[in-house]
């Protein structure tokens, strides 16, 4: 059975306090954090504020890109702030600048890129 990183750290602290920590156990604690995976969440919002309502979303997880549920009411988040409160970290804020198109200035969508690092327990 694989233990979580937190469990390994807690076990090491207890053994250290009791004078029972071995070099092998300490080495295992250092390598435990290597079993992680990154998930990416792409959120297009109506504005550049984290409180802006989301217009579309995509999730990259385990090598697969998903658009999530078709109904926006079923999306896991309605704002970027909701995702942040659920542990997602913003890695890119929207860059908003006008682009000329058909003689008018148009703005590119406000896309936020967020990441979540999750532990892989084998």
Say what the pLDDT of residue 64 is: 94
Element (H, E) at 57: strand 54-61
Q: Domain ranges in the chain?
A: 1-34, 36-119
d(CA 57, CA 25): 42
- At 17-43, the pLDDT tens digits run 999 989 888 888 777 767 788 999 999
Check residue 79 and report its DSSP letter: B
pTM of the model: 0.69
Cβ contacts of 24 within 8 Å, gap of 6 or more: none
Low-confidence residues of the chain: pLDDT under 50: none
Q: Tell me phi and psi for residue 88, to 5 degrees.
A: -80, 140
């Amino acid at each position: 059975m694989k233990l979580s990183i937190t469990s390994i750290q807690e076990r090491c602290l207890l053994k250290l306090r009791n004078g029972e920590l071995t070099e092998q156990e300490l080495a295992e604690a250092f390598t435990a954090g290597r079993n992680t995976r990154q998930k990416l969440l792409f959120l297009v919002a109506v504005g550049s504020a984290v409180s802006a309502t989301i217009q579309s979303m995509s999730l990259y997880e385990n090598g697969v890109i998903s658009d999530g549920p078709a109904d926006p009411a079923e999306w896991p988040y309605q704002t970027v702030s909701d995702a942040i409160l659920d542990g997602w970290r913003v890695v890119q804020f929207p860059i908003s600048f006008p682009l000329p198109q058909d003689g008018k200035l148009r703005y590119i969508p406000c896309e936020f890129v967020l990441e979540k690092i999750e532990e892989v327990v084998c």
